[in-house]
Structure 1
Amino acid sequence: MTAWHSKSRLIVVGLLLAALLFGTASMVWFQVTVPSPVQEIQVEVRGTDATPAVPALALVSAAAALALTIAGPRLRWVVAGALTAAAVGAVFSVVSAVADPERSAASTVGETAGIIGSQSQHSITVWPWLSLAMAVLLALAGAWILVAMRSWSTTGVTKYRRERDAGAAAVQGASGAEAVDGGTGAVHDPDAARRDGIDTWDALSEGEDPTGR
């Protein structure tokens, strides 16, 4: 198994990218200047406000990456597929927000400035582009996990089966050695001598001669 097929390595990569996606989505994406009769109002719009789907999908991706640590061979496909789908959804959400910043910032601008109109000036910061990069990388990581999982299941299951069979053979061999005395086919009973001694004492107590049996 190569380093890029390692289960633990890919899970860590998925968790790291999901965390970075969530972090960049929490930053200021748009800076809006709203004109007013008195003075211009500056409004900062974070990614969590512009498109709440992105941080939510980042959390879904992180949960899916964690679930891969305990998922069985069949469930892994579902979990990895959910991770990839969440990342692809985040890509489309970021692109949609950047393509129309006025619509994405309208709710926050309206709550902060109380004014919504086409006269507002919107500038895009670097953070939505970084979010887009993290979402794309996360989608690629999810797709690669779907490919690399084939080596996970065969390696783990085969090793477990070999160890289980070896253990069963050892237990069976030990049981056979205890049951057969010296390979003669006679069953060895360690309690036989003790039971004979008890029967002898009982016979003497009842007035019988055990040597005559």
Structure 2
Amino acid sequence: MRRGRSTAVLAMLIAGAIGVIASTQTWIDVTLDDGAQQTLAVPGADAVPVLTPLSLAALALGAALSIVGPVLRYVFGVLGILIAALVGIQTAQVLLATPVSATAATVTEATGISGTDAVASLVASLSLTPWPAVTLLAQVVLAAAAVFTLVTARRWVSGASRKYRTSAEAGGDAGRPHDAIDSWDDLSRGDDPTA
């Protein structure tokens, strides 16, 4: 089931890449009630602090999933579900409730005022960009890829494909006469064909 592995790997890589890209994009536009009506752009990494590291972890899972054995496939599937759940829950909170705490780091950096109540008193309005929704969709894709991995991992082809195996590993051509090329192959494996 070579396509199963490719599908899971590709989906995890795409979800992780979208998460990394989203962490650098503006998620929330905050207008401050400071007399100047200053507008600040809150990036995804400030709105959801775990977004960047966990998206990088999803990328690493996707890349490693292409080469690991059967046991680690299940481990990576569970890790993928956990990453999708953590990022997805925090993204959904920003998307549905738009808490002032998601903007606190950016507002504090711009104004020097800290504390949730003080920041909340400065915020006149909040508006979301499409990036939280895109990120939430990417987490759904990551979770689906992880579940797909858990369901199909047992049927994935293990090890090197047949075209990269030697004839001895593949159990091939035992009835054919031993020729000069086979002697070179024996030498490559460390066997002495003259013995």
Using structure 1 for the length normalisation, give the TM-score.
0.69
The aligned residue for residue 169 of structure 2 is 164
Larger RCO, structures 1/2 (Cα 8 Å, 6+ apart): 2
Equivalent of residue 71 in structure 1, options 50, 60, 68: 68
Does 2:108 align with 1:104? Answer: no
The structure having more radius of gyration, on CA atoms, is 1
The aligned residue for residue 9 of structure 1 is 7
Does 2:84 align with 1:87? Answer: yes
Does 2:120 align with 1:123? Answer: no
Structure 2 residue matching 1:8: 3-state secondary structure: helix
Q: How does 1:21-100 map to 2 (within 5 A)?
A: 21-37=19-35, 39-98=36-95, 99-100=97-98
Identity %: 29
Aligned residues: 169
Tell me the amino acid that sits aligned with residue 68 of structure 1.
L
**Runs of 5+ consecutive residues of structure 1 not aligned to the other structure:** 175-189, 192-213
Give the alignment's Cα RMSD to 1 decimal: 3.0
Tell me the amino acid that sits aligned with residue 77 of structure 1.
Y
**Runs of 5+ consecutive residues of structure 2 not aligned to the other structure:** 114-118, 179-193
User: CA 1:67/1:2 → structure 2, altered by over 3 Å: closer, same or farther?
Assistant: closer
Whether the 8 Å contact between 1:34 and 1:113 is mirrored in structure 2 is: no
Q: Aligned equivalents of 1:32 and 1:97: distance in 2?
A: 13
Tell me the amino acid that sits aligned with residue 111 of structure 2.
A
Q: Aligned equivalents of 1:18 and 1:163: distance in 2?
A: 40
User: CA 1:30/1:17 → structure 2, altered by over 3 Å: closer, same or farther?
Assistant: same
Q: Aligned equivalents of 1:96 and 1:41: distance in 2?
A: 25
User: CA 1:156/1:94 → structure 2, altered by over 3 Å: closer, same or farther?
Assistant: same
Cα deviation per residue 1:112-156 (whole Å; 9 max; x = unaligned)? 13342335111111111111111111111111111121211xx43
